[in-house]
Structure 1
């Protein structure tokens, strides 16, 4: 199998297939892991954690949990004065006695763990340009540097700007959700933790909304059960992880048509100091003093801009030896924190579907079709729910 993209979904799928004795090679366009900033915090709830457990070797899954935070399983929405507008259990939590509550992961740490054990199976600097169907039913991937690879199946796990989706389903459109974010971190050493208000740590994620058409603030704590480098050294064999400290993921977002918001290209060109100035200008005045205390600790060097996208309507398609998982097929706004969850669930569902396939006869296409049918049933309602919630809370289109 060929997997295009080394994000959480692609890496989970590689591990899942390997556990079932299926050869899988991941091709990633970035020159190396961490070559470009992609954010910091990933929240996994039941769907993602269950998928991760199914795909990863037990020791790696346990290391993931050991290096994750376990904040209260609640999502809070407040206004600029910190008055509570909504406070409820985290989305898609079942509430059953044996359910695992949401976990907050550091994205680079999670990726390092998921790369472990895939030596020789992940090729960086491999940008897909096209693929072709062979007479024997297999499919060949063609890369920008002239390399090719042939397999029974190509899986596009290559994100919002998926080349695989563009080739397979050119009619599908990824739409601008009309939101822009300035995303960064607030380091949480002991002094900072003591100085910050308790309400910040009482939910897995907190949204402070300025009202329709105005900016909003998002906050999510990442407090490790074990510092990643120490947890990695405690494993046999050792997993080399960076010494990341606790932090608070902090983002300021606003509608793309906000008067103070620059065009996307200009936004992406801003240096970090200018991003900070822009974010504070977008936020404006009239916010509770706790907000100003928080933002005084925002790490300017950590800031990066994000454009939020969402997938438009997708009609069922004919299954074949090319398929898609994650944001490549169902990009969604982050308001429900279900993007990574759904991508990892996709990996587990596709792994299950392919586990019983023994050849390149019709059973492979049937397995792919079965996965795609299930995926459409659970993923696209979440895309729609994310859109509705984003429209209500933060001014998404």
Structure 2
């Protein structure tokens, strides 16, 4: 069996790692260069992401990833200002209600670097997928912008909310722009030392409100310094992300597309974030003012409505290419990869047909990603969790 994966995000790379471990031939095509596109620095990592890591990656990779996560996140805090001081007004457990599960914060670029390790001969960067053709012999031929082609038994679209694979395969699926935008950035923890804010919130994701605006924040203190963890667990990890990583505070400001305006570059998005945060407590303004400008991004809110089931074929999609989950897209993409990998491995061993394998994955994905709406309560609203970058290619993120 051979599998072509389009997209080298968290889901595509997790799938590639799992298939490779099982001895299945896999190639990943990514239109961006190795550093990828700006997607925010943090991810709220819950049991779905952890299960996918442990099932699909070699043990040293898992150890490296888990050693560099933040501490346990078990509650959400609401901050308020009392006599000029920031205090915790109330807390809410992260117990799975309102869609939020307990977890740990992850440095997204570092996790991606771990996922890429060992796939150097598997991932083709700068390769833009353009179209595919299902052939009479049951295989799928893919074309790329440079004129090259590749043929495989399975084509997987892991290319985010703007998926080129989905556009051809499921042309009836539409992406709805919600009009929501999130300004997200990160600030070195040393820049806010002495303010008392990191000690106040600990590992907990936290929200503060001022004049009708909201700011989300969370601290990531690496459980083990990445440089030390690499030496102990994964010496083959050569990314410069390891040396550059330091403890930080992530922050996010939900806005509308009208407020964001034409800001596009990291520097202009950072300046817009400074403007939006001007009404907050001085310590929170300091967090934004001392951020790394090059890590500041504006993420677009998108939604893929529920669609009818489609017949299984040797083409499928995972992650934000087919469902968008505010705040948890990375976990769901990795869960998709885990499930699809398991099904494809069974097919490769003759335990089920290829179409049955893909159909079983898609049934599970639809069941978990598009729960039946509660018509008595109207449209459900997922409570956001800071530190959770929702996904790739403009997916809505948590705030």
TM-score, normalised via structure 2 length: 0.85
* Match runs of 1:209-288 below 5 Å: 209-210=209-210, 214-235=212-233, 237-241=235-239, 242-243=242-243, 244-257=245-258, 261-263=259-261, 266-268=262-264, 270=265, 272=267, 274-285=268-279, 287-288=280-281
Change over 3 Å in CA distance of 1:193–1:158 after alignment to 2: same
- Residue number in structure 1 paired with 2:71: 70
Q: Which blocks of at least 5 consecutive residues in structure 2 are unaligned? A: 387-395
- Residue number in structure 2 paired with 1:47: 48
What is the SS of the residue equivalent to 2:138? Answer: coil
Work out the CA distance in 2 between the residues paired with 1:126 and 1:85. Answer: 50
Contact 1:48 1:345 in 2 (8 A): yes
Q: Which blocks of at least 5 consecutive residues in structure 1 are unaligned? A: 94-99
Work out the CA distance in 1 between the residues paired with 2:316 and 2:145. Answer: 21
RMSD, aligned α-carbons = 3.0
- Residue number in structure 1 paired with 2:307: 314
* Match runs of 1:1-397 below 5 Å: 1-30=3-32, 32-78=33-79, 87-90=91-94, 92=96, 102-189=103-190, 192-198=192-198, 201-210=201-210, 214-235=212-233, 237-241=235-239, 242-243=242-243, 244-257=245-258, 261-263=259-261, 266-268=262-264, 270=265, 272=267, 274-285=268-279, 287-334=280-327, 338-358=328-348, 363-381=353-371, 388-389=381-382
TM-score, normalised via structure 1 length: 0.85
C-alpha distance after superposition, 1:317-369 (max 9, x if no partner): 111000011000002322xxx11111111111111111211389981001100
Contact 1:184 1:251 in 2 (8 A): yes
Work out the CA distance in 2 between the residues paired with 1:128 and 1:200. Answer: 47
Aligned length: 374
Work out the CA distance in 2 between the residues paired with 1:160 and 1:238. Answer: 31
Change over 3 Å in CA distance of 1:298–1:361 after alignment to 2: closer
* 1:284 shift after superposition: 4.8
Work out the CA distance in 1 between the residues paired with 2:127 and 2:293. Answer: 32
